[in-house]
Homo-oligomer: A and B are copies of this chain.
Amino acid sequence: MIVDVSKKILIVGLGLLGGSYARVLKRFGFHISAITKEQSSIEYALNEQIINEGSTEPDKKMIGEADLVIFALYPHIFVEWIEQNQHLLKSGAIITDVTGVKRSIVYKIQDILRDDVEFIAAHPMAGREVSGVENSTDKMFAGANYIVTPTAKNTPEAINTCLELGRLLGFSNVTTLSPEEHDEMIGFLSQLTHCIAITLMTCNDKENMEKFTGDSFRDLTRIARINDQMWSELFVANKDALLEQMDLFIDKFNELKTMLKTEDIDGMRDMMRHSTKRRALFDKK
């Protein structure tokens, strides 16, 4: 479906991600409409010619005409939106999202959604440390992962449409995972990583440390500058998987602490060699 540029795409939530989607998709010739809460975002996007039309209200015509609807909202707002406005969706429409956690959102949306509309979930693993449509860019997706998380309720057509959307957007790796696999992976690679960064940044408030900071500390705390509203919601939405990853980390950290306490040099060197070897796998290809 998606390659047919006569189809209409609606983006709900025109922030950094929604705006970046619009920027890329508009170029292909799709008709892009947007619903978002700030009039200023719509005006900016119209001026930039990255949308054809926009509204701050759930506009009946825009919603009723869209063949593909992309939700770029906080999880709880996404669920509320569907509850309140799904009766306006076109029969046969496909809807997708950008939510960073999957189990807690995918099954809920699929459960409450009308039978003649299909939700196929996706997680574009891209972001910047800034927000808002004004910071949107068509360069954020190169080199990044786009993960589609189908369930038994999804049709091959919708899954393929969503995979194709990821490729059109310019993601380098477009793939599928189950919602469960996705949440475990994201719990480890992204959420645990953010937990560690904010902990390191707040565990010692001694003054003047910044005078001696080198690249190592800066690297480990770059993401300690964090959107508190979004990340606290995402943490809770993936609570059990994230707690599991936090426990794995604490157990290993305590192992290291015990080795240091007992001056078990051989043990520490084994761990460091394991670390060095495993890190090589994660180099940028």
A residues whose Cβ falls under 8 Å from a Cβ of B: 125-126, 144-145, 147, 173, 175, 184-185, 188-190, 192-206, 209-214, 216-229, 231-233, 235-236, 239, 242-243, 245-246, 248-254, 256-257, 260-261, 263, 265, 268-269, 271-276, 278-282, 284
A274 partner residues in chain B, CB cutoff 8 A: 201-202
- In the A-B complex, the 5 residue pairs with the smallest Cβ-Cβ separation, listed nearest first, are A228-B272, A203-B252, A198-B275, A228-B269, A201-B275
Known pairs A200-B249, A202-B278, A235-B268 / 14 extra A-B pairs, C-beta < 8 Å: A173-B212, A190-B214, A193-B220, A196-B196, A199-B252, A201-B278, A203-B253, A220-B223, A225-B275, A225-B276, A236-B265, A242-B260, A246-B253, A250-B250
CB–CB A197/B214 < 8 A: no
A216's contact among B193, B235, B249, B278, by CB below 8 Å, is which? B193
A272's contact among B147, B220, B232, by CB below 8 Å, is which? B232
Given A228-B268, A228-B272, A239-B263, also A190-B216 (CB < 8 A): yes
A205→B252 CA distance, assembly (Å): 12
A273's contact among B197, B204, B228, by CB below 8 Å, is which? B228
CB–CB A232/B268 < 8 A: yes
- Report the minimum CB–CB distance from A72 to chain B (whole Å): 18
